[in-house]
Structure 1
Amino acid sequence: MSGGRRTQLWSRPPAGEFVTVEEAILSTFSTLKGESALGNGWRALRRRILTPDVSETSLVKRGFHRKDPAAQELLETVGEKFLLGYANAVEARSAEQAAEWLERIPPKFRGFAYEGAGMGYGVLDGLPLGKSANIAEFLAGPGEKHNYIVYVGVGWAMARIPRFAWPKASAFDPLLRWLVLDGYGFHQAYFKTDQYVRRHHQEARFPWPDRRYGGYALRAIDQGVGRALWFVCGTDVSLVGKTIEEFPESRHGDLYAGVGLASTYACGATAEELAELVDRSGIHHGQLAQGSAFAAEARVRAGLLIPETDVATRAICGLPAERAAAITQEVRPAAVVDGADVPAFETWRQRIAEEVLTHGGKK
């Protein structure tokens, strides 16, 4: 395989072309089918072939808004650490070795690296050769306390691998599996911004994880699209609000939920800016607060709580981060019983929104 082909696959694809892992898979294994899939050399090569170039995280290259240098540096660092986590998973000999590398990343960005690892293991599970239990082993081991964010990373992988290679929904927690679609939606809005953000594309229905809820799956994807808006709009709350207003009104609540999650997990806005975001969310403040509480829980559970997260939950939820996180667990269903129209995940989200506004105060 020539170095030029690898560059074409990942570093500098032709303008307007969206390159998938399926293309990398075909190219990689047509050339390496006779080689042993063992050893450091193979893993290093696998990392080089399958890992996108770090330039893909540049706000300038993506065409994203740049609010100020600090916000740009934050968002680009998030992208860099995501790709580092992805590369670590692809190259590591084991989940434990990957975690050893991931734990060296500062707490502020470590969760994004675990998200990248989730994508990396999702891609490896979709390859035609090798074992297909990487995600399961990671979640059963060092990725367990990062399960929220790892699920999201798997959604990134689903956006890159062919549908026949998608993981079975039964492999995931029946309540949390919808977070995989959050990751899918984020990926699509991040890399197909014109289609998913500016032209408001939505698929007719979505078959994963359950065809009975194909309509709700689109809502879960929108939650990921909303999370991506925090990056597309460069953490500019005014631009975020204006961008959401251009979407059909029926989609606003889920988009604001995603924004609430991203603004609390990735941060990048002052308390005053977040207060403006709350005002802009209007009747969707509950969804915004639900996303914020989810983000707080993800950081608290993983032991990655940072001061900026507390600033965000106080502004959006009216509560300290640890209290907002606790509410998500207090109202979590003891048993997962999906409804006729919506899954238990949505009922849980609604209860979180109600409880947060009750305890934090409605705007």
Structure 2
Amino acid sequence: MPSFLGSLRQFVLAPKLSAVTFAERGFPGAGSAAAERLEAIPQAVVCGFEWGIAARDLWEVERRLELVEQEQRGFAYEGAAMAFTVRDAMAGGRGTRTRDLLLGPAAPHLLLAYIGIGFAMARLPRPLWRNIMPDLTGTLFYPTMTWLAVDGYGFDLAYFHPEKYIGKQRVPPPYPWEGRPDYFPRAVDQGIGRALWFTGGAEPETVTASVARFPSERRPDLWSGVGLAATFAGGASADGLARVRDAAGEHWPQLGLGAVFAISARVMAGHVPEHSALACEVLAGSSVDDAVAIAGRTGASPADADDTMPLYEQWRNRIRAELGAISGEQRKAS
């Protein structure tokens, strides 16, 4: 049972479940089967946030999260990471809840937990970002994939303020994440691209038209976000996914990149829904096993660090190149 202070934090900070529904947010497709699938994701995040913001200890949060069905469990951990990040910040940056969560029960859902930290960033003043990412030295993907926190920040901005960040295409001020303020807007756009899948109701024409309205230089990162969301969250048929890939044109490897990251995260969490495997096949032209292998053999190591781009983007470049090469070989074979 939460403490009085925990209940107060939950009352003040936790959004209502209805606040993330398509009907409440004015997204297309409210009431459809696709909308119900997609709405369950932010609702799972809200539940995880509520449990994390009010709980007395990590054990209590873990027990609640493990009761969530497997397909949605990672999203609930995403919300818990958001809550623990807020609580650590409220403790003057001295809290260890987020680190304990990420090194403990959230480890299989680490990539989504990073995104949850980004959700917290959207609600905290920037001076508190300095120590917001816990030190996970020695763990897989650290610090390379911490850019997913910035992705989460971008998603949150677009999901809850679509009129500004989708309609007016506002670009938030840069921030020296991992010492690279130049890459910060690109990682934000990757999150905005994920949000477009939701704000467009997973309707292929609506989503692709939204991407097309952005300046051309922003579209590649938006497409990678679309690919990640379409693969992880689902909501479209094989035909609909094929139309998204066709609309991406020369940027289809960006879609494939997003699919590879999403399927790798699903495998890491121990559950790959049918819709995720389907999206991987259509968007990346790859089976689940092959996509995981691509991600594994292209990862950038600290020895690859240079001043041209973050290790994260080096990894992304290698995945795109490999997908392009495989597609070329397939065309020759046919």
Partner amino acid for 1:281? A
Q: What is the rounded CA distance, in whole Å, between the counterparts of 2:2 and 2:187 in structure 1? A: 39
1:176 to 145, 160, 169: 145
Partner amino acid for 1:141? G
Shift of 1:266: 0.4
The alignment status of 1:202 with 2:166, answered yes or no, reads no
Shift of 1:191: 0.9
Residue in 1 that maps onto 2:325: 358
Instruction: Note closer, same or farther for the CA distance 1:189–1:166 as it changes in structure 2 (3 Å cut).
Output: same
1:66 to 19, 29, 43: 29
Residue in 1 that maps onto 2:289: 322
2:248 to 281, 291, 299: 281
CA contact (8 A) 1:189 1:228 kept: yes
CA RMSD of aligned residues (A): 2.0
CA contact (8 A) 1:118 1:154 kept: yes
The alignment status of 1:45 with 2:8, answered yes or no, reads yes
Residue in 2 that maps onto 1:56: 19
- Bigger Cα displacement from structure 2, 103-112 vs 193-202: 103-112
The alignment status of 1:193 with 2:193, answered yes or no, reads no
Q: Which runs of 5+ in 2 are unaligned?
A: 137-141
Shift of 1:254: 0.2
Residue in 1 that maps onto 2:300: 333
Partner amino acid for 1:121? F
1:269 to 236, 246, 249: 236
The alignment status of 1:296 with 2:260, answered yes or no, reads no
Determine what percentage of the aligned residue pairs are the same residue.
35
Residue in 2 that maps onto 1:146: 109
Shift of 1:276: 0.7
Q: What is the rounded CA distance, in whole Å, between the counterparts of 1:130 and 1:221 in structure 2? A: 24
Q: What is the rounded CA distance, in whole Å, between the counterparts of 1:39 and 1:56 in structure 2? A: 23
Question: Helix, strand or coil: the match of 1:176?
Answer: helix
CA contact (8 A) 2:35 2:235 kept: no
Partner amino acid for 2:187? A
TM-score calculated relative to the size of structure 1: 0.84
Instruction: Note closer, same or farther for the CA distance 1:39–1:57 as it changes in structure 2 (3 Å cut).
Output: closer
Q: Which runs of 5+ in 1 are unaligned?
A: 1-37
The alignment status of 1:163 with 2:126, answered yes or no, reads yes
- What number of residue pairs does the alignment pair up? 324
Question: Helix, strand or coil: the match of 1:218?
Answer: helix
- Bigger Cα displacement from structure 2, 178-187 vs 318-327: 318-327
